[in-house]
Structure 1
Amino acid sequence: MTVREQIDRYIEAQPPAKRAELRDLDQRILTIAPAAQLWFLDGRDETGKVVTNPNIGYGAETLSYADGGSRPFYKLGLSANTAGLSVYVMGLKDKTYLSQTYGARLGKAKVTGYCIKFRSVKDVDLAVFEELVADALG
């Protein structure tokens, strides 16, 4: 199964309202960055244990760890959760960047060092979301 097929299967498995919002955000991201590398993480660790919500990833970068190790990973992630949706911006050096740059303009969203959580796309300014995507994947 291709990564795109895994992503589509994940989106289709969501409740109708969340499915529509994930599809919309996926299309917006791909319109901004059509050549972005796609990722799908099913949320399981190497032993098969579920450790996180599944994630759709876009773009590519190398994450570096304190122990000197590194690994390839996505730059922007999208995930459904029990409370709504999450968007992850990976590799940020400044953990205040998201909140300072987008927090006040994004709408009803919780913004942390690398994660933006919101209940529904109706709660966020989609023009600001698209600006954030272009910034993260540009």
Structure 2
Amino acid sequence: MNVRSQIKDYIAAQPEPKQKDLQELHGLILGIMPDCKLWFLDGKDESGRVVSNPNIGYGVQVIKYADGKNKDFYQIGMSANTTGISIYIMGIKDKKYLAEKFGKKIGQASVTGYCIKFRTLKNIDVGVLEDAMRYGIEQTRV
């Protein structure tokens, strides 16, 4: 199954209103990054054990490890979780920046070093979320 089909099936499998919110966010991110690489991670490790929630990724950045190796990974990620939705803004060096810059303005959300977690879209300012994603994309542009 191709990535677009996996993403479509993943979003369709979510209960409402989460399904509608994920679809809206998917469209928003594709509007910001129209030609981006799409990823779908099923949340399982190499042995098939579940290690995380499945997630959708958008864009490409290169992660450089201390041993000199590099790995491609997504810039923005999205995942349904038990209480709502998580948006992952990967590759920001300053782990306090998201919370300091966007935390107070975004609404009812938990903001950490790279994750913005909220129950539903109606609880947050989507424009602030979009600004945070655009910031992250700029920080990891290849």
TM-score, with structure 2 as normaliser: 0.92
Alignment pair present for 1:83 and 2:95: no
Distance between the aligned counterparts of 2:3 and 2:109, measured in 1?
Answer: 28
Distance between the aligned counterparts of 2:135 and 2:112, measured in 1?
Answer: 17
Alignment of 1:1-138 (within 5 A): 1-138=1-138
Amino acid at match of 2:36: A
TM-score, with structure 1 as normaliser: 0.95
Residue 101 of structure 1 deviates from its aligned partner by: 1.4
Contact 2:85 2:118 in 1 (8 A): yes
Residue 16 of structure 1 deviates from its aligned partner by: 2.0
Unaligned residue ranges in structure 1 (runs of 5+): none
Range with greater deviation from structure 2 (96-105 or 48-57): 96-105
Range with greater deviation from structure 2 (100-109 or 79-88): 100-109
Q: Residue deviations 1:11-69, cap 9 Å, x none? A: 01111211101000000111111011111100000001100000100110012234443
Contact 1:33 1:134 in 2 (8 A): no
SS at match of 1:31: helix
Let me know the Cα RMSD of the aligned residues.
Answer: 1.2
Distance between the aligned counterparts of 2:135 and 2:2, measured in 1?
Answer: 27
Distance between the aligned counterparts of 2:17 and 2:67, measured in 1?
Answer: 42
Aligned residues: 138
Unaligned residue ranges in structure 2 (runs of 5+): none
Contact 1:77 1:87 in 2 (8 A): yes
Distance between the aligned counterparts of 2:73 and 2:127, measured in 1?
Answer: 26
Distance between the aligned counterparts of 2:37 and 2:4, measured in 1?
Answer: 10
Distance between the aligned counterparts of 1:70 and 1:107, measured in 2?
Answer: 36
SS at match of 2:63: strand
SS at match of 2:104: helix
